[in-house]
């Protein structure tokens, strides 16, 4: 929340008194956290269900209708599990690592806008915790700090599987961060702003009333696929889940963790997936733009619905890929990242830059 | 008032992190203290209105360079360093010398640097201004720096390469 105190924020909300501002911010933070944590829980449910159906199984069915209460049961189980601390760990960092992971995973939601400005009870406010004009860079900064949680978990566990897992994770995340960042610059050049809200606003409207002006239809299709691939690697998901490769490393960096500490890594991973999905829909898929119709209350809710639908679609692709693809070998992973993805990202950036310069 | 309070809080965190960096005996704790220093410096930049520099400070220093530091410490599995007895000369002359030196630097900066204090947020901070400066006024230094970085990368490749073979080392087995 530190990033919230920028001058831009004060300028934009100067009309509100400090008390109202703090109150609104707290309400927004509470709502965003509840929604995010619920979404995390139900992404786990969705994953188990979808992967189950891909593999001709049912997935969870016992707890509640369609197994819908399964996340609740899982949560209760995690809380009541014994919290083992192995005797050979370096305790301060062993305890801090899952917290670092989860804190940075949850913080990045602070600058992500989910809709337009709304007026509730005479107060005009954006559907976003803080509207800063460095939004995208702040998300990148916060997610790049998240690697410490994984790295320290592996090191402080003092076990070879954990250490190997976290070494792989650090190397992989640093490598793919380069391609990830470069794939986003194409979008930034087209929008001319770092503010996530400005980037979404620039994608409104449609060509000939049919093709929406989303960045993916404006020539950033390669950028989108580079982002997609790099994001899979950043969140340590199949086919890039080398850091927690079960067949080689037991469970990778969280081998020595149990109970809620393990659950925190799990929640961090899913929260990161949701952040990545939010960024993808904001930057490439037009954010909350979509057809608006019906009465006023429906028109107010529809943008939120379109945004949620995009996130759902992105998460579904995540799970689909997990149910379909095998895992890379480590040298393949590094070669792919540096020798294929990075040159492609640079080429995409140069071509976008040339076209934008030629048009202006 | 709010600015001053936040400045003092994060300044204190920054100094505490820097002292902790020196006091800690385990390299990984020192590296983590350095991350705290970097992050609190980023907040100070934010207070000055330099949002871009603050974000880049976190992404580059805290997010990339320090990850490599931690990575190397983990890879080498560096243990706790042993404490030497410490020389008495360093204790007697070193600490007062350091205090006098930093006091002198602070006094020179405050009194004789010739710069006047600038209100918070008055300096150019938006990325467009920075980009304009980089690609117009400071184009030559900027490009020369990039060549310097390229030379450093080439040097690293030469040092890391196998001394016997000219080309890339053949795979064994």
Q: Is A342 on the interface with B (CB under 8 A)?
A: no
- Over residues B145-152, the mean pLDDT reads 92
- Give the gap in angstroms from C-alpha A68 to the nearest C-alpha of chain B: 38
Mean pLDDT of chain A, nearest integer: 82
Dmax over Cα atoms in chain B, in whole Å?
68
Please give the Cα distance from A179 to A145 (Å, whole number): 17
Please name the residue ranges forming H helices in A192-245: 196-201, 221-234
CA distances in angstroms from B157 to A104, A119, A168, A339, B151, listed in the order given = 34, 58, 22, 16, 10
Residues of chain B above pLDDT 90, percent? 12
- Tell which residue, A297, A280, A312, A278, has the closest CA to residue A114: A278
More confident residue, B90 or A60: A60
At B162 the pLDDT is: 67
pLDDT in tens, A237-248: 878 877 777 777
- Give the gap in angstroms from C-alpha B106 to the nearest C-alpha of chain A: 28
More confident residue, B2 or A304: A304
More confident residue, A320 or B173: A320
Instruction: Give the angle subtended at the CA of B160 by the CAs of B80 and A155, to the nearest 5°.
Output: 30
Q: CB–CB of A177 and B62 under 8 A?
A: no
Q: Is A130 on the interface with B (CB under 8 A)?
A: no
Q: Is A1 on the interface with B (CB under 8 A)?
A: no
At A128 the pLDDT is: 77
- Model confidence at B115, in pLDDT bands (50, 70, 90)? low
pLDDT in tens, A167-204: 888 888 888 888 888 888 888 888 878 888 888 888 87
- Tell which residue, A193, A56, A59, A39, has the closest CA to residue A114: A39
- Class assignment of domain B2-80+88-122? mainly alpha
- Model confidence at B149, in pLDDT bands (50, 70, 90)? very high
Q: Where are the domains of chain B?
A: 2-80+88-122, 126-163
At A1 the pLDDT is: 35
Q: Is A132 on the interface with B (CB under 8 A)?
A: yes
pLDDT in tens, B10-45: 999 999 999 888 888 888 888 889 988 998 998 888
């Amino acid at each position: 929340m530190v990033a919230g105190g920028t001058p831009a924020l004060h300028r934009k909300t100067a009309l509100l008194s400090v008390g109202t501002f703090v109150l609104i911010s707290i309400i927004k933070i509470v709502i965003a956290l509840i929604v995010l944590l619920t979404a995390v829980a139900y992404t786990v449910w969705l994953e188990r269900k979808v992967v189950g159906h891909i593999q001709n199984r049912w997935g969870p069915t016992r707890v509640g209708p369609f197994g819908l209460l399964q996340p609740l049961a899982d949560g209760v189980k995690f809380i009541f599990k014994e919290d083992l601390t192995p005797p050979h760990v370096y305790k301060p960092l062993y305890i801090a690592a899952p917290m670092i992971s989860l804190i940075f995973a949850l913080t990045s939601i602070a600058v992500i806008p989910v809709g337009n400005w709304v007026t509730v009870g005479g107060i005009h406010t954006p559907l976003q915790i803080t509207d800063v004009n460095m939004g995208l860079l702040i998300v990148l900064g916060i997610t790049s700090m998240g690697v410490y949680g994984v790295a320290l978990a592996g090191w402080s566990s003092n076990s070879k599987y954990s250490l190997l897992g976290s070494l792989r994770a650090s190397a992989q995340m640093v490598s793919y961060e380069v391609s990830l960042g470069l794939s986003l610059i194409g979008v930034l050049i087209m929008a001319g702003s770092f503010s996530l809200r400005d980037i979404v606003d620039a994608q409104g409207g449609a060509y000939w009333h049919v093709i929406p002006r989303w960045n993916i239809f404006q020539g950033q299709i390669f950028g989108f696929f580079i982002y997609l691939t790099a994001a899979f690697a950043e969140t340590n998901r199949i086919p890039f889940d080398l850091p927690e490769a079960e067949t080689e490393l037991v469970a990778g960096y969280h081998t020595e963790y149990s109970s809620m500490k393990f659950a925190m890594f799990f929640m961090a991973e899913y929260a990161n997936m949701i952040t990545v999905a939010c960024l993808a829909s904001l930057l490439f898929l037009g954010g909350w733009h979509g057809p608006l119709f019906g009465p006023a209350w429906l028109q107010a809710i529809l943008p939120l619905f379109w945004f949620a639908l995009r996130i759902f679609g992105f998460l579904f692709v995540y799970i689909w890929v997990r149910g379909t693809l095998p895992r890379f070998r480590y040298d393949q992973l590094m070669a792919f990242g540096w020798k294929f993805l990075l040159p492609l990202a640079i080429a995409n950036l140069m071509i976008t830059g040339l076209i934008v310069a030629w048009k202006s | 008032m709010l600015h001053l309070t936040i400045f003092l809080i994060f300044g204190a965190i920054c100094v505490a992190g820097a002292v902790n960096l020196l006091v800690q005996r385990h390299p990984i704790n020192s590296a983590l203290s350095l991350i705290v220093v970097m992050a609190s410096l980023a907040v100070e930049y934010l207070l000055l209105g330099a949002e871009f520099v603050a974000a880049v400070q976190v992404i580059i220093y805290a997010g990339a360079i320090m990850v490599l530091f931690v990575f190397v410490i983990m890879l080498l599995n560096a243990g706790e360093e042993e404490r030497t007895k410490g020389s008495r000369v360093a204790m007697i002359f070193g600490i007062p010398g350091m205090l006098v030196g930093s006091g002198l630097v602070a006094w020179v900066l405050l009194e004789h640097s010739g710069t006047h204090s600038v209100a918070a947020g008055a300096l150019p901070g938006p990325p467009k201004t920075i980009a304009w400066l980089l690609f117009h006024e400071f184009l030559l230094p900027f490009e020369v720096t990039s060549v310097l970085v390229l030379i450093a990368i080439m040097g690293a490749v030469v040092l890391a390469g196998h001394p016997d073979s000219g080309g890339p080392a053949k795979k064994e087995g």
